[in-house]
Structure 1
Amino acid sequence: MKQKLSSPSFADLFLGQRKVKQTFFSQINTVIDWAPIRAIIEVAYTKGYKSTGRPSYDSLVLFKIELLRTWYGLSEGEVEDQVNDRLSFSRFAGLGMEDIVPDSTTVCRFRNILVEADLYDTLLAEFNRQLEAKGIIVKRGAIVDASITNTPRRPRGGKSYEVVEDRKEDENIEASEKAMLKEVVKPNVDTEARWVKKMGKLHFGYKRHTVTDENGMVLAEETTAANESDMKHLE
């Protein structure tokens, strides 16, 4: 069972009477047919009660929050704060004044489910296909922007090694010494993150590659280790 959105409150009705200029968000909600997008999401995102007994969020609410995150280059925590603080964001996501905004962990878990099911790019492709059909975006060119996300689980101190096998008398000494030593991965270190130097500073974490069209609309997004080359993602 998915979480039910609250009925419009007095505040929602009052704010709804304000004459608000047609915005980008309202245009998107008008031109997009969300039914095929929901169908793609729900191949992997199964609605129902969580282990805590709380109902899950509607799939489109989470997808719209994920769109806001990619459009504005926000982290999961930042997009949670923005949806809480900005009326335009919460309206676009389909949340009323009394609805609880999904927390950063929920948003991150939702995206990971889509990525692991190979549906994330499919969703962006369907979303952008509809926008292109309406003439909102035109694929004349693409821009790749890369941003670094640091991880707190970085290695501390120097490398340490352990002996993995004994050296035999007739083996090459140098080759044998290399074979004898194995780098020890320290506990709580993110083994998938990598070091990269940017603007003279070292960063340990990941690189988010975002492909946008000439108008800034997100066409695709991929997260890799921080040492990945940007050029690979121009294809």
Structure 2
Amino acid sequence: MRQPGFFDVDECLARLSGLGDQLEAFFQTVGFELFRLELHKALAYADGSKDGHPPFEAVLMFKILVIQTLNNLSDERTEYLINNRLSFMRFLGLGLSDRMPDAKTVWLCQKRLTQAGAIDVLFNRFDAILRNTGYLPMSGQILEATLVAPQSSAIPTLKRRLCGKDGSSQDWQDKPSMLSHKDRHVRWILKFTKAKRQEDESIPATYLAILFFGYKSHISIDRKFLLIRKWKATDAATSDGARVCWIKPICHQQFGGIRPYRSKANEDFMDKHGFVSKVHRKKPLLKPMPRHIQRSNAGKSIILSRVEHVFADQKSQTGLFVRTVGIARATMRIGLANIVYNMSRFLLLKQIKAAT
């Protein structure tokens, strides 16, 4: 092995840029300094009058959360990779000899942002940046929800609670140390999925009932740019149809969604605010679906499928997996995933615009 050279780091970073460093593109496209004021208010760092190390910059910690969300990392893994990867150091503006935040500092930053409820403020701040850049939500909204799995350790605990030997849950409720580690905000939901179609079309389709345990991420995206405009994190048992009222402040021409969003109250709400409903129609009870409704639903499904690309991107890239306990921290996790997705989508839209 040869002796390290003076320009070895610069040459390595140049190679990373040539290979297409996503974090470098983030740094050049997203103005992270625009979040500084909101982050300072939420983190509420000390003024430095007391002894001890000065706190890390708020924007630096927010960038670390972006890295953590983008790569689906735990706090300990985040600390290791920040010290290990040159691309992470360049994105954070740190050198090899600079002091690096540890896992406890990253956890504390998340905790303060969660307690301050800052995730909505940060999301709305970046949405304002998108609007000022020209990406206005003027082509209609698509509302959909996806199930988000929690930490695996919570599942057997709830099973023991529901299916215990004596039918009670006193075995863990009497111990506060155990109670603090159990997620009591997650809920069960029974999800029906269509089984694989039979070769003989005369045989009616069968449905499978799947029991899911976790949270639910509701999002509303604009039809043209596929950017998330509104979002909400709830437990898995929350009804999807109750989320239609989000679209009121956006004021668009069309609204699309699957059958759970169609109800008389929702249809009256959309008619009152001037929306054109593109929600799927339900099958008549104990009657075959009329042919014209089938064709109408098929056309709506082509548009509705766009929101599935958003969920697929989130679950494949950011993981969209809740490692924490409680609905407040789950909201923080899902909100960060939505912000990071909008940043990635904004970067892609800028690249498409530059290419054309």
**TM-score of the superposition, structure 2-length normalised?**
0.43
| CA RMSD in angstroms, aligned pairs only | 4.3
1:196 aligned residue (157, 179, 188) = 188
Matches within 5 A, 1:58-207: 58-72=57-71, 74-77=73-76, 79-80=78-79, 83-84=82-83, 86-99=85-98, 101-135=100-134, 139=137, 140=139, 141=141, 144-150=145-151, 152=153, 154=157, 156=160, 158=164, 159-160=167-168, 185-187=173-175, 188-189=178-179, 190=182, 192-196=184-188, 200=210, 203=213, 206-207=214-215
Deviation string 1:55-84 (CA, Å, 9 cap, x unpaired) is 432211221222234445555455555545
How many residues are aligned here? 203
Deviation string 1:152-184 (CA, Å, 9 cap, x unpaired) is 36354634389xxxxxxxxxxxxxxxxxxxx98
| 1:209 counterpart = 2:209 | no
Displacement after TM superposition at 1:128 (Å)? 3.0
2:43 counterpart residue number: 45
Displacement after TM superposition at 1:124 (Å)? 1.6
User: Are the structure 2 counterparts of residues 208 and 63 from structure 1 closer, same or farther at C-alpha, using a change threshold of 3 Å?
Assistant: farther
User: Are the structure 2 counterparts of residues 133 and 69 from structure 1 closer, same or farther at C-alpha, using a change threshold of 3 Å?
Assistant: farther
- Answer yes or no: is the 8 Å Cα contact 1:146–1:207 preserved in 2: yes
Structure 2 counterpart SS, 1:207: strand
Equivalent residue letter for 1:96: G
- Answer yes or no: is the 8 Å Cα contact 1:76–1:108 preserved in 2: yes
Equivalent residue letter for 2:153: P
- Answer yes or no: is the 8 Å Cα contact 1:76–1:104 preserved in 2: yes
- Answer yes or no: is the 8 Å Cα contact 1:12–1:97 preserved in 2: no
Structure 2 counterpart SS, 1:43: helix
Equivalent residue letter for 1:149: P
Gapped runs of 5+ residues in structure 1? 1-8, 163-182
- Answer yes or no: is the 8 Å Cα contact 1:209–1:230 preserved in 2: no
Displacement after TM superposition at 1:36 (Å)? 3.4
Gapped runs of 5+ residues in structure 2? 1-5, 192-209, 247-356
How far apart are the structure 1 equivalents of 2:24 and 2:219?
Answer: 23
Displacement after TM superposition at 1:89 (Å)? 3.8
Displacement after TM superposition at 1:216 (Å)? 7.0
| 1:33 counterpart = 2:31 | yes
How far apart are the structure 1 equivalents of 2:146 and 2:70?
Answer: 12
Among the aligned pairs, what percent are the same residue? Answer: 21
1:4 counterpart residue number: none
Q: Which moved more, 1:37-46 or 1:190-199?
A: 190-199
Higher helix share: 2
How far apart are the structure 1 equivalents of 2:153 and 2:67?
Answer: 25
How far apart are the structure 1 equivalents of 2:107 and 2:35?
Answer: 19
